[in-house]
Amino acid sequence: MAGHRIRIEDLARPVLDEGQKAALAYGDQHDVDLSVRAVETAACETTGLNDWGSPDWKERLALWFDEMNGDDNRTNLGRLTLFNDSVRYAVTRLRMNALLKDHPEILDQKINAPIIVVGLPRSGTTHMVNLIAADQRLRSMPLWEGQEPVPDPEEAPGVDGVDPRWTRCNEGWERMRAVSPLLASMHPMEPDHVHEELEFMLPDFSSYTLEWVAQAPKWRDYYLSQDQTPHYLGYLLTGLKILQWRRPRDRWVLKCPQHLEQIGPLMKTFPDATIVMTHRDPISVLQSAITMMTYSARINYRHVDPQFYLEYWHNRIQGLLSAFVRDRDLLPSDKTIDIPFGDFMADDLGTVEKIYEVAGLAMTPAARSQVKTYLETHPRGKEGQVVYDLRKDFGADPAELRSAFDFYLDRFAVESEVF
């Protein structure tokens, strides 16, 4: 029932359902070799390709695996999932390189004046980008296309005309829903859901993604110590060019919370972008994010530790916002718009119209109708609304946690949501 409230009572001591037990048992049946060589071998066998381009990606993947191999608390299912994802990223790298060799003109594609949504995770960025992407004049990246941007040349659409990449993505989502059913309420990931362009940094094995699916403080420290500009100008931009070459549009709409701490690389990559900054109470963001990750941990970790997620992400969100405040002046003042979360939730369509004014994009009758149709067919909470409770689930005082964000709250009009 749409709008029903869901209370997760077993975050710290999960009571596994039959689907979760079966998934963990399936993982235990596999001997998972988390090594660069194993990923290389699997990707080459899958594609018949072997042009990796620059070999520096191997160092980064090795860091991922070294940290995971040193974590005895990680379940075999969690290890298997990371291995399979890494093979997919490697397959994408090989296929992108092969496609560019055959069609070097792809690199001449221009990504002009994109609209880029930037803000904390769980601050409305996903709803925002999907809402704007309903305007069919704009190019966006649905999840199925981002996960496999280059088709397997030996595959063809099924008898129903459906792209096999869409089918695989949908099968993966259905498996995820079966194992972690409340994810549909917290973060929908259907195949047609507009996803983050961060997906294109993964074939280069550099982004903050690993932090969302694993406990990876060593990787965090390495990633933050490295200039991300080559990865933005490299695989991220190239991936978008490939998609545009296949299905052109005049302008893109993009979004990724990681950009908060990478404004320099972002603006070097997209100097003519319109930047949409979403602002939400960081404590509301924190409790939402860590509830989702603690819930998901039941299949990735043998023992769940809610305090890890509280402490890690309280610090991590501070880091994202500190970098944003530090680099805010790098954003073009005439092409940047700040969107308070409350204002967006109160008037979705009106907010999009304001963004279009800044972006120099006319809100045509057709575009308005498409955005309104999206709103009507995607009501908030249609899969139910998870109840978030920092005090009960994490033993934390919201006011004490919020004081760490005074540097941000003093500068931007952000309404407190959690008390």
- The predicted-structure confidence for 213-225, as pLDDT tens digits, reads as follows 999 999 999 999 9
Mean pLDDT over the full length of the chain? 95
Per-residue pLDDT tens digits for 27-53:
999 999 999 999 999 999 999 999 999
pLDDT of residue 359: 98
The answer to whether residue 1 scores a pLDDT higher than 50 is: no
Nearest in space to 297 (alpha carbons), one of 26, 6, 10, 87: 10
What the block records as the tokens of 287 is 């409790």
Q: What is the mean pLDDT of residues 215-240?
A: 97
Contact status, residue 130 vs residue 193, Cβ threshold 8 Å = yes
The answer to whether residue 186 scores a pLDDT higher than 80 is: yes
Share of the chain above pLDDT 90, in %: 90
What the block records as the tokens of 170 is 């949908």
Per-residue pLDDT tens digits for 125-173:
999 999 999 999 999 999 999 999 999 999 988 888 899 999 999 999 9
Residue 403: burial class (beta carbons within 10 Å; 0-12, 13-18, 19+): exposed
Residue 371 identity? V
The answer to whether residue 237 scores a pLDDT higher than 80 is: yes
pLDDT of residue 189: 86
Q: In order of start, what are the domains of the chain with their CATH numbers?
A: 5-17+113-151+165-409 (3.40.50.300)
The three-state DSSP-derived secondary structure of 205-273 is: CCCCHHHHHCCCHHHHHHHHHCCCHHHHHHHHHHHHHHHHHHCCCCEEEEECHHHHHCHHHHHHHCCCC
pLDDT of residue 381: 64
The answer to whether residue 2 scores a pLDDT higher than 60 is: no
Per-residue pLDDT tens digits for 52-79:
999 999 999 999 999 999 999 999 999 9
The answer to whether residue 229 scores a pLDDT higher than 80 is: yes
Residue with more model confidence, 70 or 381: 70
pLDDT of residue 413: 84
Per-residue pLDDT tens digits for 266-325:
999 999 999 999 999 999 999 999 999 999 999 999 999 999 999 999 999 999 999 999
Q: What is the mean pLDDT of residues 370-386?
A: 85
Instruction: Identify the band that residue 383 occupies on the pLDDT scale cut at 50, 70 and 90.
Output: low
